[in-house]
Amino acid sequence: MSPTTELRVERVKGAVNAAPVLGEAEFREFQAMIFAVAGIHMPASKRTMVAGRLSKRLKALELGSYAAYWRYLKANAAEKQTAVDLLTTNETYFFREPRHFEFLRDRILAERRRQGRFRLWSAACSSGEEAYTAAMVLADTLGASGWEVLASDISTQVLEKARAGRYPLARTDRIPPECLKRHCLKGIGEAAGTLMVDPVLRSRVEFRQINLNTRLPDVGEFDVIFLRNVMIYFNTETKQQIVARLQACLRPGGYLLIGHSETLNGFQNGLEAVAPSIYRKRK
């Protein structure tokens, strides 16, 4: 067989095995599913992103089209959670938006008057960096006891990573050096190039799967709730519902912190703005 013939065969083979295309009708199905489950709005501009993330499952399940994957997903409840894991965005890092952690340390904790256990909720914790950052601040300010952190996310996949508390060293460059020494362990041998949050600190953070778009489980009341960089994916009605649910979980005088690019303008009844992206529940 000549080189030209071989090249022609490869081209034909490539055409036959071309990557499946996510059509508009199938995209609307997945768009409606993620909105119904998580309240997340996926605009038309996210179609390529949705196709890219779900293509992993098509390949794993040896399915030839997104329509076939949609049929499979409808018939398998566990697969719906897998799809949600793939479609939810999970970008985070330690000490992200550091002014919030400075406010926690220098204002909230410094002015604390209430006796009893201090409770903080990282309500969209992703792979855990936000929750562990808060735990570091609480440990350094309040000591080894008298506080607790609840961390939740809708994605079971990122929660597994969060519970492990192991991260690439490159992801930890924002942790202050002294804090790094106190609360983190550097991997050696096969674990070289990674960092693990100290087991003592990890034990103070409880990770739970919680869907903010549905009725919340009984989690009690909190002094501080972080809900950062997640509301940009919700429409106005969903934002109102989620904020109302979380506000009910705040103690009077408790704080709700959102992302710097987000706002509660128009639906912060019962909350007063004390700084950009920081709100307090009226007493």
Beta-carbon contacts of 111 under 8 Å, excluding residues fewer than 6 positions away, are: none
CB atoms near residue 93 (< 10 Å): 18
The separation between CA 198 and the C-alpha centre of its own chain, rounded to angstroms, equals: 21
Please state, in angstroms and rounded to a whole number, the distance separating the CA atoms of residues 234 and 105: 30
- Kindly list the strands in the beta sheet with 166-168, ordered across the sheet, starting from the edge strand earlier in the chain: 166-168, 194-197, 184-186
Annotate 169-189 with b (16+ C-beta within 10 A) or e (fewer): eeebeebeeebbeebbbeeee
Q: Exactly one of 47, 153, 223, 280 is catalytic; which is it? A: 153
The alpha carbon dihedral of 259, 203, 181, 164 has a sign of: negative
Active site residue 198: no
Q: Exactly one of 53, 105, 166, 204 is catalytic; which is it? A: 53
Active site residue 85: no
Beta-carbon contacts of 181 under 8 Å, excluding residues fewer than 6 positions away, are: none
Rounded-to-5 percentages of helix, strand, coil across the chain: 50, 20, 35
Q: Which residues are catalytic, by number? A: 53, 153
